[in-house]
């Protein structure tokens, strides 16, 4: 049957397919997959899931296969979902079954569109026509093109053998400035390098995007569109296409958190506003629609965290808290800067409890778009705090968090962040003065994926890389000494945490366009005790 004779055509999703990155809540829970239909084709008739392997004859093709990786006809192994329930913008969520991935390299996800309604087959022949369309897709498109629709859901969720030392490797990135007609290839260069890493041994097990995945204010208000379609929908579509077309969306679990440019540059609530800022509410809604559609699911509202965006995950048994340091901020003035919060009390207390509840002998990772340390050079006092958009602009939150870590003797804490457009690794030692207690933490900051304007990028001289500051909280005094190493340039970080030679190590590689400019750093986390067996 020729392509022209088909009543249906099979095509990859316009954006996506993006699987829910969180592990299933139970063995019978479905796999949630998000994406969008082709705007030029409209509503899809059905979705097809084809388990595939590489062509055993060595051609650049995928072939349908069974659980033993034996080539089979599409109709014998493919699954069809007749309901592709999307919204008015073409965004959809599909629910598949985990056992569809048993034994195969991945499952190709395709959407099926009607192309010849007048000559459509009779009802008994519809399944055959749908399977024929999927077979035609495999035959006409090389594997190098179809891999962006190949969903792999196991990945980093696989756990090590019980009792074995744990290790975790992931990509950390932020700040993808939008491409123009003149810089398409340059703007996507970082994503392209990350995609090529997925073809090599030692690839990252997931991707953590910590803010500014989109810039809805790319021209600082001069030429920014005003209609929701142009300002939000098209901006998010372009951002999701960058991940889809490189194959990253389908092959690498991605965890995302919004920051200011999903709303407006350096957004924070205004003192005189008696209700949530409509700009923030709109930006938050689009972030949830486009970047959290398949997951992770939102937490239930709690106390003053009325629309929680924060969530918790585990990477090969190691706990990770992804914090929202943008939408829950409290207003700041010269009179209130010392008590203003960078997040709701409910989220902050949740982080403190989360830190105390984790096992002492394993690393604990906290991701927040805003950088924890180093501070800005002029962070002290009212004027310095009010000019800072990071944790040091909210001294109460920063100081209480540091004090909690040292007072509760919490070890192996690593903070992860983006936003400053400058990679760095800071080692900080916090001391409770007069109590003999101290704790060491690390703060890893990833540069921008693409930040073409130097005036918007931090430089090492902007930050207090070698710093010592003191603070007082509830009658107790503390000091914090910071030592920072910087790594300028656009790109992303590959962060590795592993237990080897009797100690935990933190490894950071800052990937750059020119290999000679990439920088690697290794740090001893300071915990030399053999970790207890991990339990799942």
Going by C-beta distance under 8 Å and a sequence separation of 6 or more, which residues neighbour residue 322?
Answer: 208, 255, 257, 310, 311, 312, 313, 367, 368
Q: Rounded to 5 degrees, what are φ and ψ at 33?
A: -130, 125
Whole-number pLDDT of residue 367: 98
Helix (H, G, I), strand (E, B) or coil at 264: coil
Out of 333-337, 425-429, 456-460, 516-520, least confident range: 516-520
The C-alpha atoms of residue 390 and residue 373 are separated, in whole angstroms, by 9
User: What mean pLDDT do residues 97-104 have?
Assistant: 85
Q: What is the pLDDT of residues 411-460, one digit of tens each?
A: 999 999 999 999 999 999 999 999 989 999 999 999 999 999 887 889 99
144: which 2 tokens? 């190098």
Q: pLDDT band at 517, cuts 50/70/90?
A: confident
Whole-number pLDDT of residue 390: 96
Q: What is the pLDDT of residues 149-196, one digit of tens each?
A: 999 875 534 444 444 447 889 999 999 998 877 888 899 999 999 999
Task: Tally the C-alpha atoms within 13 A of residue 119's C-alpha that lie toward its C-beta.
Answer: 8
The answer to whether 240 touches 221, Cβ cutoff 8 Å, is no
247: which 2 tokens? 């194959």
The C-alpha atoms of residue 324 and residue 326 are separated, in whole angstroms, by 6
Whole-number pLDDT of residue 531: 41
Whole-number pLDDT of residue 167: 83
Whole-number pLDDT of residue 259: 98
The C-alpha atoms of residue 258 and residue 324 are separated, in whole angstroms, by 8
Q: What is the pTM of this model?
A: 0.92
Going by C-beta distance under 8 Å and a sequence separation of 6 or more, which residues neighbour residue 460?
Answer: 422, 486, 488
Residue 296 preceded by cis peptide, ω within 30: yes
Whole-number pLDDT of residue 379: 77
Q: Which residue has the higher pLDDT, 103 or 418?
A: 418
The C-alpha atoms of residue 448 and residue 428 are separated, in whole angstroms, by 23
The sign of the torsion formed by the CA atoms of 215, 219, 222, 225 equals negative
Alpha helices (H) along 275-416: 278-291, 345-357, 381-387, 395-407
Out of 375-384, 439-448, 518-527, least confident range: 518-527
Helix (H, G, I), strand (E, B) or coil at 374: coil
CATH 3.60.21.70 domain extents, the chain: 172-524
517: which 2 tokens? 């400019």
Helices 395-407 and 345-357: angle between axes, nearest 10 degrees: 20
User: What mean pLDDT do residues 529-536 have?
Assistant: 37
45-47-53 Cα angle (round to 5): 145
Region at 179 (left for phi over 0; alpha for psi -120 to 50; beta for the rest)? beta
Whole-number pLDDT of residue 103: 81
User: What mean pLDDT do residues 77-93 have?
Assistant: 90
Q: What is the pLDDT of residues 344-366, one digit of tens each?
A: 999 999 999 999 999 988 999 99
Q: pLDDT band at 225, cuts 50/70/90?
A: low
CATH class for the region spanning 172-524: alpha beta
- Judged against a pLDDT cut of 70, whether residue 236 lies above it is answered with yes
- Judged against a pLDDT cut of 80, whether residue 220 lies above it is answered with no
- Judged against a pLDDT cut of 50, whether residue 530 lies above it is answered with no
User: What mean pLDDT do residues 379-398 have?
Assistant: 91
Mean of all residue pLDDT scores within the chain: 88
The answer to whether 307 touches 301, Cβ cutoff 8 Å, is yes
- Judged against a pLDDT cut of 50, whether residue 112 lies above it is answered with yes
């Amino acid at each position: 049957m020729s392509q022209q004779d088909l009543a249906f055509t099979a095509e990859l999703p316009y954006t996506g397919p993006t699987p829910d990155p969180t592990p299933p809540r139970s063995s019978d829970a479905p796999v949630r997959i998000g994406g969008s239909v082709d705007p030029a084709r409209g509503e899809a008739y059905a979705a097809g899931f084809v388990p595939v392997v590489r062509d055993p004859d060595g051609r650049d093709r995928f072939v349908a296969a069974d659980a033993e990786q034996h080539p089979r006809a599409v109709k014998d192994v493919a699954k069809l979902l007749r309901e592709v329930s999307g919204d008015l913008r073409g965004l959809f969520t599909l629910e598949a079954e985990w056992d569809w991935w048993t034994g195969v390299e991945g499952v190709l996800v395709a959407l099926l569109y009607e192309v010849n309604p007048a000559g459509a087959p009779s009802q008994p022949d519809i399944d055959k026509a749908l399977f024929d369309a999927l077979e035609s897709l495999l035959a006409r498109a090389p594997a190098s093109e179809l891999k962006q629709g190949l969903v792999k859901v196991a990945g980093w969720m696989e756990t090590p053998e019980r009792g074995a030392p744990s290790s975790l490797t992931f990509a950390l990135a932020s700040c993808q400035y939008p491409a123009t007609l003149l810089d398409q290839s340059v703007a996507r260069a970082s994503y392209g390098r990350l995609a090529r890493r997925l073809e090599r041994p030692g690839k990252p097990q997931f991707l953590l995007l910590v803010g500014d995945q989109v810039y809805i204010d790319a021209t600082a208000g001069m030429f920014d569109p005003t209609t929701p379609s142009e300002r939000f929908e098209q901006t998010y579509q372009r951002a999701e296409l960058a991940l889809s077309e490189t194959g990253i969306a389908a092959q690498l679990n991605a965890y995302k958190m919004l920051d200011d440019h999903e709303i407006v540059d350096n957004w924070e609530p205004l003192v005189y506003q008696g209700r949530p800022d409509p700009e923030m509410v709109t930006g938050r809604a689009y972030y949830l629609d486009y970047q959290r559609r398949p997951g992770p699911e939102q937490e239930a509202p709690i106390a003053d965290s009325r629309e929680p965006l924060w969530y918790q995950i585990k990477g090969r048994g190691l706990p990770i808290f992804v914090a929202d340091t943008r939408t829950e901020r409290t207003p700041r003035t010269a009179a209130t800067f010392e008590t203003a919060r960078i997040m709701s009390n409910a989220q902050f207390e949740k982080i403190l409890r989360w830190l105390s509840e984790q096992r002492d002998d394993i690393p604990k990772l906290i991701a927040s778009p805003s950088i924890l340390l180093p501070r800005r050079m002029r962070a002290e006092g009212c004027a310095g705090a009010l000019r800072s958009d990071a944790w040091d602009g909210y001294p109460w939150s920063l100081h209480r968090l540091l004090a909690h870590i040292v007072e509760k003797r919490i070890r192996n804490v690593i903070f992860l962040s983006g936003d400053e457009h400058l990679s760095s690794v800071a080692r900080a030692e916090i001391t409770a003065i007069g109590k003999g207690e101290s704790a060491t933490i690390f703060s890893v900051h990833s540069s921008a994926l693409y930040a073409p304007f130097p005036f918007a990028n931090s430089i090492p001289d902007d930050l207090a890389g070698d710093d010592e500051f003191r603070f007082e909280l509830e009658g107790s005094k503390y000091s914090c000494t910071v030592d920072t190493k910087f790594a300028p340039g656009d790109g992303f970080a590959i962060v590795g945490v592993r237990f080897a030679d009797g100690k935990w190590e933190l490894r950071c590689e800052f990937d750059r366009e020119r290999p000679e400019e990439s920088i690697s750093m290794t740090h001893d986390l300071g915990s030399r005790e053999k970790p207890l067996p991990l339990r799942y």
